[in-house]
């Protein structure tokens, strides 16, 4: 598999090896030792599956607090524009975003570590998205970030998306920070000098 680093350290775009022939295709979508060697050390405990119509925007969501959640996202039918936003106060990339097209055709995956918000917009007629989570869903630990927060500036491929009432009323990054809802950045440990 090929692992592509994004502008946000820790957010990884994965291109699995796909074996294609006249029958169709086969690929591994998760193999713990191989993904761990590639820098994904999350222990996944829950899988989710959604189906959405064109123009639907789900997000931006994060699970922090007592049950922080990393995600490994893939689109199994159709196409989405998938986004991660750094929510970690004090991070060199705080408030910045990265996005990638995930589709059934390109079979790419996006890894979103703990401390990042995640969302996607459907660019095909419908899309089915499956994602692995490193912690079970917890209502008390979930937050939402406003999809069109100008301070973040995500360039979504839709101007008037279909939103849930909750996502339409989500707070901005500044409001989340003022409310004390964002995690602190923890710099990576330095290797000992030898």
Query: Cβ-count burial of 141 within 10 angstroms (0-12 exposed, 13-18 middle, 19+ buried)?
Result: middle
Active site residue 131: yes
Active site residue 67: no
Q: Where in the sequence is the domain holding 145, given as residue range(s)?
A: 2-178
pLDDT tens digits along 69-114: 999 999 999 999 999 999 999 999 999 999 999 999 999 999 999 9
Q: Is residue 139 part of a domain?
A: yes
List 35, 111, 118, 131, catalytic entry: 131
Q: What are the backbone angles phi and psi of residue 81, rounded to the nearest 5°? A: -105, 115
Distance set, CA 155 to CA 106, 148, 181 (Å): 21, 9, 24
Mean pLDDT (whole number) for 33-46? 94
pLDDT tens digits along 151-178: 999 999 999 999 999 999 999 999 999 9
Q: Is residue 46 part of a domain?
A: yes
Q: Is residue 192 part of a domain?
A: no
Residues 99/82, Cβ–Cβ less than 8 Å = yes
Q: Is residue 188 part of a domain?
A: no
> Domain holding 22: CATH number?
2.60.120.10
List 61, 67, 111, 185, catalytic entry: 61
Judge whether residue 30 has pLDDT over 80: yes
Q: Is residue 12 part of a domain?
A: yes
Query: Could you give the CA distance from residue 150 to residue 148 in angstroms, rounded to a whole number?
Result: 6
Number of domains the chain is built from: 1
Q: Is residue 32 part of a domain?
A: yes
Nearest to 14 by CA among 26, 30, 78, 135: 30
């Amino acid at each position: 598999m090929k692992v592509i680093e994004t502008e946000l350290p820790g957010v990884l775009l994965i291109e699995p090896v796909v074996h294609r022939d006249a029958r169709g295709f086969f690929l591994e979508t998760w193999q713990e030792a191989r993904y761990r060697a590639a820098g994904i050390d999350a222990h996944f405990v829950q899988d989710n599956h959604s189906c959405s119509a064109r123009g639907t925007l789900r997000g931006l969501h994060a699970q922090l607090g007592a049950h922080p959640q990393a995600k490994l996202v893939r689109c199994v039918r159709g196409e989405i524009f998938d986004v991660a936003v750094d929510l970690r106060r004090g991070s060199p990339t705080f408030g910045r975003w990265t996005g990638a097209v995930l589709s059934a055709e390109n079979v790419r995956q996006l890894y979103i570590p703990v401390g990042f918000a995640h969302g996607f917009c459907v660019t095909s007629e419908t899309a089915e998205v499956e994602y692995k989570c490193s912690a079970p869903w917890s209502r008390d630990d979930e937050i939402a970030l406003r999809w069109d927060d100008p301070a973040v500036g995500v360039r979504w491929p839709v101007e008037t998306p279909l939103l849930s009432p909750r996502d339409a009323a989500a707070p901005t990054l500044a409001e989340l920070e003022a409310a004390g809802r964002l995690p602190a950045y923890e710099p990576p440990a330095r290797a000992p000098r030898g």
